[in-house]
Amino acid sequence: MNEKLQSINLNNVPRHIAIIMDGNGRWAKGKGMQRVFGHKNALTAVREAVDASKQIGTKFVTLYAFSTENWNRPKLEVDALMSLLVSALKKELPEFHKKGIKVNSIGAVDQLPKTAQKTLQKVIEETQNNNVITLTFALSYGSREEIVNAIKNISKKVVNNEIDVKKIDEKIINNHLYTFNLPDVDLMIRTSGEQRISNFLLWQMAYAELYFTDVLWPDFRQEDLFDAVINYQNRERRFGKTSEQIGTDV
């Protein structure tokens, strides 16, 4: 068994891990290649992260694959990313079944090219009965946009007397987010040394532990995820309480 894996308390693993996969461009540039080369070599890191999460018993992994802001990147790079998405989903489908991975997506996926939408939907439908781990791809995703859309939808229901404005609470807001079927994030990992959350799951990460690593995403391996989880387990999650209160909670 992996030495770092042995150091992990399997009774205290994050239920939901979110990852900002950063550093593909810098990784490629460091090798004298174009940014697309970095994206092409990122799939191994995805496999490693999901496999490591599966080994420790984490049930939900969410990957920030393409943000709403990423549409502003050069067209050549955006087209390449969409093409890679389609080919990767098709290639990995047998592995999804083999490993019990249920594929999910969040974001304005209707903004994706039609081919990407169809492929994504096909993979989601074909893996819907897998139950070992749920792998969510955040595509054309922006947390502020998600929250704005939730407010609009709730407002419409208030106007139509479907929701009493006095009864709006966190649960109702949760139910109108893209992530209505996912638990809150416990651990957020960002690679490449950047220390910000870049409009990712702002509501869902209210009490998440944040972990930043200098490792560039294409170099990310299982041991790196284990390091993040070990760091997570060495923190005290108080959720607004005091250390003394946490110690007396049953």
Q: Which of 9, 11, 12, 22 is catalytic?
A: 22
Q: Which of 41, 51, 70, 199 is catalytic?
A: 70
**Is 235 labeled as ligand-binding?**
no
**Is 131 labeled as ligand-binding?**
no
Q: What count of other Cβ atoms lies within 10 Å of the Cβ of residue 144?
A: 11
Task: Name which of 78, 170, 166, 92 is nearest 135 in CA terms.
Answer: 92
**Is 100 labeled as ligand-binding?**
no
HSE-up (13 A, CA, CB side) for residue 25: 7
Continuous segment of H or E residues that includes residue 210: strand 209-212
Report CA 168 to chain centroid distance, whole Å: 27
For residues 242 and 213, is the Cβ–Cβ distance under 8 A? no
**Is 140 labeled as ligand-binding?**
no
**Is 39 labeled as ligand-binding?**
yes
**Is 174 labeled as ligand-binding?**
no
**Is 214 labeled as ligand-binding?**
no
**Is 203 labeled as ligand-binding?**
no
SS3 sequence of 114-161 = HHHHHHHHHHHHHCCCCCCEEEEEEEEECHHHHHHHHHHHHHHHHHCC
**Is 151 labeled as ligand-binding?**
no
Q: Exposed, middle or buried, 73 (CB in 10 Å: 0-12/13-18/19+)?
A: middle
Q: Catalytic site residue 70?
A: yes
Q: Catalytic site residue 249?
A: no
**Is 196 labeled as ligand-binding?**
yes
In angstroms, how far is the first alpha carbon of the chain from the final one? 32
**Is 27 labeled as ligand-binding?**
yes
**Is 23 labeled as ligand-binding?**
yes
Q: Could you give the angle at the alpha carbon of 222 between the alpha carbons of 221 and 228, nearest 5°?
A: 100
**Is 105 labeled as ligand-binding?**
no
| Amino acid, res. 167 | K
Place of tokens 């502020």: 144
Annotated binding site: 22-27, 35, 39, 67-69, 71, 73, 190, 196-198, 209
**Active site residues per annotation:** 22, 70
Annotated binding site for Mg(2+): 22, 209
Annotated binding site for substrate: 23-27, 35, 39, 67-69, 71, 73, 190, 196-198
